[in-house]
Amino acid sequence: MDVRSFEKFNPIARFRAPAPTVGVLRLYGVIGTPSPWSRHLSLAGLAQGIEKVFKFRHLKAVALAINSPGGSAAQSALIARRIRAIAEEKDVPVFAFAEDVAASGGYWLACAGDEIYADENSVIGSIGVVSAGFGLDGLIERIGVERRLYTAGDKKALLDPFLRAKPEDVKLLQEIQSDVHESFKRMVRERRRGKLRADEDELFSGQFWTGRKALELGLIDGIGDMRTVMRERFGDKVKLRPAGLRRSWWQRRHGHGIAGGAAPPGPADWADGALAAVEERLWWNRFGL
């Protein structure tokens, strides 16, 4: 009788060490406050999944599947901090895998990993801060509209798009951006300590690179996809287990962002949805995607 036949008729012989499990947390999309029209990444939306992915049986590691052009710095920091806190509490290694793009806030999320991998064609980096808007003061003058704005506090109407930008207001915005940039740089320095191989003036300029160049700069640890790297690390029997979130019937039918029991969208909501779609598309377009 061969080994397989023996195991078939002898249940005791069939008991083996369980296959190692790697929990997979998908971080796809623009980072920011979610709405009925977006799948933005936020701590509120991901907290349940983060908790769940670290509770799988026979867990050997957690893998972050990242495809994000960035977004809110605050939400990027909160998500990454929660992942690191639980990883250290559970003593579980975290691996980050960039797909099309892990840039700006997306790279901030990648830094939650103990090791970062990407495809050689992935877009990596953009360690900087950007604020964008429109100046419409000339438009309303041409069409004969008078702007009436009343505030208590001389900075309450800071950078109002219908008013001409004041140098002192722009300076204040740049100071805020500088503070956020410093926070981003501290995260990268801490998580990539001893691995960065370029001057900070280059790394923290807001520039972005392909995965191959990012490897040369020390922003990532290797070129590779999740399945291949995890099989190399934990063996061919490793199980990649996604941390799916439960959604209500209404959410499954009408979209990720709408809470169960929410009222159907009205005309104003459709307009908001169109603007949100354009804004989200612009985030991806920054990286040629």
pLDDT in tens, 6-62: 445 555 545 577 899 999 999 999 999 766 556 789 999 999 999 999 999 999 999
**One domain for residues 142 and 213:** no
Calculate the alpha carbon distances from 30 to 35, 57, 95, 285 in Å.
Answer: 12, 31, 20, 12
Q: Is the pTM of this model over 0.85?
A: no
**One domain for residues 41 and 183:** no
- Whether 279 is in a domain gets the answer yes
pLDDT in tens, 189-203: 999 999 999 999 999
Q: How many CB atoms lie within 10 A of CB 143?
A: 6
**One domain for residues 122 and 135:** no
**One domain for residues 84 and 221:** yes
User: Quick one: pLDDT at residue 199?
Assistant: 95
- Whether 197 is in a domain gets the answer no
**One domain for residues 115 and 56:** yes
User: Quick one: pLDDT at residue 127?
Assistant: 93
- Whether 201 is in a domain gets the answer no
CA distance 78 to 91: 20
**One domain for residues 245 and 170:** no
User: Quick one: pLDDT at residue 6?
Assistant: 44
**One domain for residues 89 and 41:** yes
- Whether 51 is in a domain gets the answer yes
**One domain for residues 43 and 152:** no
- Looking only at the bridges linking them, the beta strands covering 208-210 and 123-125 are antiparallel
Query: SS3 of 170, please?
Result: helix
Considering all CA atoms of the chain, what is the largest pairwise distance in Å, rounded to the nearest integer? 94
Q: How many CB atoms lie within 10 A of CB 260?
A: 11
Residue 66 β-bridge partners: 27, 98
Residue 198 amino acid letter = A
Report the domain count for the chain: 2
- Whether 166 is in a domain gets the answer yes
Active site residues: 104
User: Quick one: pLDDT at residue 149?
Assistant: 59
**One domain for residues 188 and 212:** no
**One domain for residues 212 and 138:** no
Which of 192, 223, 238 delimits the end of a domain?
Answer: 192
- Report mean pLDDT in 10-residue bins for the chain, 289 residues: 48 67 96 74 94 96 96 95 98 98 97 98 88 56 63 60 66 78 95 96 94 98 98 96 65 41 49 58 64
Terminal CA-CA length for the chain: 58
User: Quick one: pLDDT at residue 244?
Assistant: 74
Token readout for 129 is: 């801060």
User: Quick one: pLDDT at residue 76?
Assistant: 96
Query: SS3 of 156, please?
Result: coil
User: Quick one: pLDDT at residue 163?
Assistant: 63
- Whether 200 is in a domain gets the answer no
139: part of which helix (H) or strand (E)? helix 137-142
**One domain for residues 61 and 44:** yes
**One domain for residues 134 and 158:** yes
Domain holding 30: CATH number? 3.90.226.10
User: Quick one: pLDDT at residue 13?
Assistant: 44
Least Cα distance to 66 among 117, 27, 18, 113 occurs for 27
- Whether 198 is in a domain gets the answer no
Sign of CA dihedral 217, 218, 220, 224: positive
- Can you give the residue range of the structural domain that contains 36? 3-126+207-285
CA distance 66 to 162: 37
Least Cα distance to 262 among 273, 254, 274 occurs for 254
